[in-house]
């Protein structure tokens, strides 16, 4: 069928390296929850972000993922070509923006170029390349060594280690919205920059096994590194999620800077 659009498909080129959203993502994650100083979070993030506060500071998570991804639609050859695997490390904070509560993934690293481009282009996620090491039984299967998860950035190393395979099963709980502040520029000044907030709500297809684990977090940073202010305060609560399957990018709303939430599937709202 001939397209009626001026800029006809395929646009901009037929050799895409990744499929449009949504993606089906399945795999494992390990998360360390702790608190970080309110003043440190305020100094690093936009004042539009209103952090929640706990006993000592802002609820903060360091999370590692190992994900297999694929598009939900298309022929077998297309899905095979667009499928892949990535590792990811994320630092996120609980809070709200413009009255919308969720978790703000302010710092994100990955070892996969396709996922980096997909996340930045479609959602404005602040993904950058990172050296992520995931070893041990949780990542590699039974019989492995203790689970070790580590992010190596240019001026710091963040490590999350689990103490053996012992796990306390916990009931799965609904996940929050992912808060994504997005700044859209128009080169040449043809339009003023636009500031949006995306509310990304992953759909759970398979909940997986959710457990509490014993372990420890360690931050090694160069003197003067920005991340030294985000060292954990007090106790660390560690969770693992194995065998989950989610759909990401099908349920997304946009909050315009001076307007209300808009759903692209509901024109004229």
> Whole-angstrom Cα distance, residue 40 to residue 42?
5
Q: What is the DSSP letter of 175?
A: P
CATH number of the domain encompassing residue 96: 2.40.400.10
Residue 47 buriedness (CB in 10 A; 0-12 / 13-18 / 19+): exposed
pLDDT digit string (tens) for 33-85? 999 999 999 999 999 999 999 889 999 999 999 999 999 999 999 999 999 99
Residue 110 domain-assigned (yes or no):
yes
Residue 18 domain-assigned (yes or no):
no
- Beta carbons of 132 and 63 less than 8 angstroms apart: no
- Beta carbons of 72 and 61 less than 8 angstroms apart: no
**263: pLDDT strictly greater than 90:** no
Q: What is the DSSP letter of 99?
A: T
**Which H or E run includes 120?**
helix 113-123
With the CA atoms of 8, 250, 133 and 16 taken in that order, what torsion angle do they form, in degrees rounded to the nearest 10? -10
**265: pLDDT strictly greater than 90:** no
**Which H or E run includes 26?**
strand 23-36
- Beta carbons of 115 and 83 less than 8 angstroms apart: no
Distances (CA, A) of 219 to 62, 104, 150, 233: 11, 21, 10, 12
Would you state the pLDDT for residue 189?
A: 78
- Beta carbons of 109 and 89 less than 8 angstroms apart: yes
Which residues, including other chains, have CB under 8 Å from residue 94's CB and lie 6 or more apart?
Answer: 51, 52, 58, 59, 60, 102, 103, 176
**267: pLDDT strictly greater than 60:** no
Return the sign of the alpha-carbon dihedral for residues 138, 143, 148, 151.
Answer: negative
Residue 269 domain-assigned (yes or no):
no
- Beta carbons of 163 and 86 less than 8 angstroms apart: no
Q: Residue 136 is part of which domain span?
A: 23-262
Mean pLDDT of 198-211: 97
Residue 16 domain-assigned (yes or no):
no
Would you state the pLDDT for residue 244?
A: 97
Residue 192 domain-assigned (yes or no):
yes
* Domain count for the chain: 1
pLDDT digit string (tens) for 125-168? 999 999 999 999 999 987 767 999 999 999 999 999 999 888 99
**Span of 81-95, 97-111, 162-176 with lowest mean pLDDT:** 162-176
> What global pTM score does this model have?
0.92
**204: pLDDT strictly greater than 80:** yes
Residue 9 domain-assigned (yes or no):
no
**259: pLDDT strictly greater than 80:** no
Joined together, the tokens standing for residue 59 give 């609820």
Residue 1 domain-assigned (yes or no):
no
Q: Per residue in 191-203, is it b (16+ CB within 10 Å) or e — as a string?
A: eeeeebbbbbbbe
**1: pLDDT strictly greater than 50:** no
Joined together, the tokens standing for residue 162 give 């689990």
Residue 8 domain-assigned (yes or no):
no
Joined together, the tokens standing for residue 132 give 């992520």
In the block, tokens 């006809």 appear at 8
Beta bridge partners of 204: 246
């Amino acid at each position: 069928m001939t397209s009626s659009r001026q800029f006809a498909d395929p646009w901009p080129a037929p050799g895409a390296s990744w499929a449009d959203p949504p993606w089906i993502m399945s795999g494992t994650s390990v998360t360390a929850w702790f608190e970080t100083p309110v003043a440190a979070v305020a100094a690093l993030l936009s004042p539009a972000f209103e952090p929640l506060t706990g006993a000592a500071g802002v609820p903060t998570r360091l999370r590692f993922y190992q994900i297999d991804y694929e598009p939900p639609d298309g022929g077998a050859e297309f899905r095979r070509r667009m499928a892949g695997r990535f590792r990811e490390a994320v630092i996120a904070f609980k809070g709200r923006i413009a009255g919308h509560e969720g978790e703000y993934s302010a710092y994100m690293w990955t070892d996969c170029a396709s996922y980096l481009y997909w996340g930045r282009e479609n959602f404005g996620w602040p993904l950058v390349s990172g050296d992520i090491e995931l070893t041990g039984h949780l990542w590699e299967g039974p019989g492995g060594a203790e689970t070790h998860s580590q992010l190596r950035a240019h001026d710091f190393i963040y490590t999350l280690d689990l103490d053996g395979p012992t796990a306390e099963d916990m009931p799965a709980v609904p996940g929050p919205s992912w808060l994504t502040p997005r700044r859209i520029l128009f080169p040449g000044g043809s339009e003023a920059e636009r500031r949006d907030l995306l509310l990304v709500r992953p759909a759970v297809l398979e909940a997986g096994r959710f457990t509490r684990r014993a372990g420890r977090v360690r931050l090694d940073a160069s003197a003067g590194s920005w991340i030294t202010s985000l060292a954990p305060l007090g106790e660390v609560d560690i969770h693992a999620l194995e065998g989950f399957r989610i759909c990401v990018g099908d349920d997304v709303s946009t909050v315009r800077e001076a307007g209300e939430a808009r759903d692209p599937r509901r024109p004229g709202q």
